[in-house]
Amino acid sequence: MDSHNWRDEVRNWLQQKWQVSPSLIQEAIIFFEKTFTNTRCYDRAWFGIHNEMISLVVGGIFLAALVHSGSDKGIWLLLDQNPPQINGFDYKPVKSTQRSASPLVWAHSVSFDTLNKIIISDEVWLSYTNASEKVLTSSSSSTDRDNVQLRRNKFRLTQIWPIRNDISHDAEQSQPNSGLNVLPVNRLTLHEIAAEINRKSKSYLIGKLQDIRTELKGLARRPGKSIFSSKTISDNWAFHHGGRSELQFNIGWEDTAGLKELRHGVAFSFETSKTLPMIDILVPKVRLFNDFLRLYPELYSDMRMWHYKENRSSDYMPGPISSELVTEGCFVFLGKRQPADNIDYDMILDDFDKLLPLYRYTENNNVSQPVTIPLDAPFTFKSGCTVKASSTVATYTQKQLNVNLRHNELQQALYQHLVSQYGKENVGTEITSGVGTSVDVIVRRDNGYWFYEIKTSLSPRACLREAIGQLLEYAFWPGAQPAIRLVVAGESPIDKDCMEYLRRLNLRFPLPIDYEQIAL
């Protein structure tokens, strides 16, 4: 066994011996990762892969094992006395511990389909943790047998599973009335997180990713069942099955300011490999990615971008990828981060769903009509102001330079001003246009609607340049709600040249476009 590639060897063994599905193979790997992480015998345990079994042992006692043949065939896990009862498992006493004060048992199942029941059970792992500590004192067979293990080509667990700083083996929390210390809830591995995302994705659009890929690429058959596969998950990152030469749905560890976080989102990896010998295939996809973010500049305003090019960049607002970053070895990411010890899977899957239109657009094989974002519900006016994150806690610099905070502040001021003129029942914010976009502020008048688009630039000319195209799309795109007045709103007063520009537009076409200053 190669201590550096134990997962691959487990995978190969299972494919040859059991011929189980890739998803069950991944669960078997997660099963052993759990046994490694939760054992109290970390320095004493040995792991090995042999012809008829894979096992983690201390002395002569199995902590965990997969046995291929004979009467012992199946899944084995050492548990404390009075173990949690799980359907599909029977429980066998560990004979060498029965005369001690802490007799132990093995949970055993012949079916691989029961693996997930163990993996997700906190009670099972608490019982395993306690048992792995007691086995050192409960069994006459638990003494070190280093020479025997070495002859069997086993490896010390310390060689294949380096202990992590975030796991405390001296935790002071204890189970009530047990008299024993137990480990705190350990941080999940990326393999476990990817498996859980796959499992939960069935209730989300992203769960159909492989069907979407089949459709977009005209494949004869679906290339996989899940978002992530065993081939696309490593210890530190994972990307969707088939995503090496695509805009990839990606998760991975980030270490920012000493805080370990999990990222999730989409990425371009310009690192070459056997499956991507050149990055040329990604270049037209970057162009489509950039087109989409120019079309919908605020769609992902709650996310951030960053990149790795020798070093990690700081976070920045989503936008087109510069040509300087499309070079071998660079990694460009769009998404979010969250604490590594408190994973919100629903947020990950919601964001993956939100990023699907970008993926579709980018992976549409350069057809003449790129896929646009899904249409919203039909336009329906609703009065009131959408509550946004307050900017009162931000510093002066943040209020001045953070685009989102500034936009929220301007929107609130404009809303209050329009309410004072036209009544609260006639003013609404963030109203869907009916064509996949939302309008910052709408005023309802007797003869139609006024659409307002807020821009944070101090230059009125920059505001007009950014906003006019959006306002025209809101009002005139097929299926959109028509508007009788289109207003660009900024915080600086309009100048003479901008007034002349609007006069010419209204005279020449005509277009009902105006500019209004927002007074803060």
List the structure tokens of 438: 């939302």
pLDDT in tens, 124-139: 988 998 898 888 776 6
Say what the pLDDT of residue 256 is.
73
Q: What share of the chain is helix, strand, coil (3-state, %, to 5)?
A: 40, 20, 40
Asked whether 320 and 290 are in contact (CB, 8 A), the reply is yes
Give the tens place of pLDDT for each residue, 176-231: 333 323 333 346 788 889 989 999 999 999 999 999 999 998 888 998 889 998 88
Could you tell me where the beta strands, DSSP code E, fall in 82-127? Answer: 90-93, 105-109
Residues forming a β-bridge with 55 = 48, 65
For residues 42 and 420, the model is more confident at: 420
Q: What is the end-to-end Cα distance of the chain in Å, rounded?
A: 69
**Tokens representing residue 164 in the block:** 């992590």
**Res 20: pLDDT:** 79
Question: Which residues are within 8 A (CB) of 387 and not within 5 positions of it... i.e. 6 or more apart?
Answer: none
What is d(CA 284, CA 201) in angstroms, rounded to the nearest whole number? 29
Q: How far is CA 509 from CA 71, 468, 483, 485, 504, in A?
A: 86, 14, 16, 14, 8
Q: Find which of 62-76, 147-161, 411-425 is predicted with most confidence, using mean pLDDT.
A: 411-425
For residues 438-447, average pLDDT: 93
pLDDT tens digits along 43-93: 788 999 988 899 999 877 899 999 988 888 999 999 998 899 988 999 999
3-class SS at 276? coil
| Residue written as token pair 């037209």 | 284
- What confidence category does residue 166 fall into, taking pLDDT thresholds of 50, 70 and 90? very low
Within 8 A by CB and 6+ apart from 1, the residues are: 9, 48, 49, 153, 154, 155
Mean pLDDT of 156-163: 77
| Amino acid, res. 69 | S
Q: Which of 409, 404, 377 is nearest to 392 (CA)?
A: 409
Q: What is the mean pLDDT of residues 267-284?
A: 91
What letter represents residue 512's amino acid? P
CA–CA distance, 302 with 298 (Å, rounded to integer) = 8
User: 383 and 427 in contact (C-beta within 8 Å)?
Assistant: yes
How many beta carbons lie within 10 A of that of residue 336, not counting itself? 18
Q: Tell me the C-alpha distance between 261 and 148, whole Å.
A: 41
Distance from C-alpha of 411 to C-alpha of 430, rounded to nearest angstrom: 10
Long-range Cβ contacts of 438-445 (<8 Å, 24+ apart): 438/376, 439/474, 440/411, 440/414, 440/489, 441/411, 441/414, 441/415, 441/489, 442/381, 443/418, 444/381, 444/383, 445/484
Rounded Cα–Cα distance for residues 340 and 255 (Å)? 10
| Cα–Cα distance measured from residue 56 to residue 77, given in angstroms and rounded to the nearest whole number | 10
Q: Report in angstroms the alpha-carbon separations of 346 from 200, 240, 342, 406.
A: 8, 17, 12, 29
How much is the mean pLDDT over the chain? 84
Q: How many CB atoms lie within 10 A of CB 437?
A: 19
CA 511 to CA 428: how far, in whole Å? 23
Name the DSSP class of 519. Answer: P
More confident position, 460 or 298: 460
Asked if residue 75 lies in contact with residue 112, where contact means CB atoms within 8 angstroms, the answer is: yes
d(CA 210, CA 206) in angstroms, rounded, equals 9
How high is the pLDDT of residue 114? 87
DSSP string, 319-331: -PPPGGG-STT-E
Give the pLDDT band (50/70/90) at residue 141: low
Pair of tokens at residue 232: 């696309």
Q: What is the mean pLDDT of residues 96-108?
A: 87
Give tens-digit pLDDT for 315-348.
888 999 999 999 999 999 999 999 888 889 999 9
State pTM to two decimals: 0.55
Q: Do β-strands 513-517 and 485-490 pair in parallel, antiparallel, or remain unpaired?
A: parallel
Q: How many Å apart are CA 178 and CA 78, to the nearest integer?
A: 18
Residues 243-266: tens digit of each pLDDT: 999 999 999 999 876 788 999 999
Amino acid identity at 368:
S
- Residue 366, CA atoms < 13 Å, CB-side half-sphere: 7
Sequence-ordered list of residues with C-beta below 8 angstroms from that of 420, at least 6 positions apart, any chain: none
Taking a C-beta distance cutoff of 8 angstroms, is the pair 370, 359 a contact? no
Over range 374-391, report the average pLDDT.
67
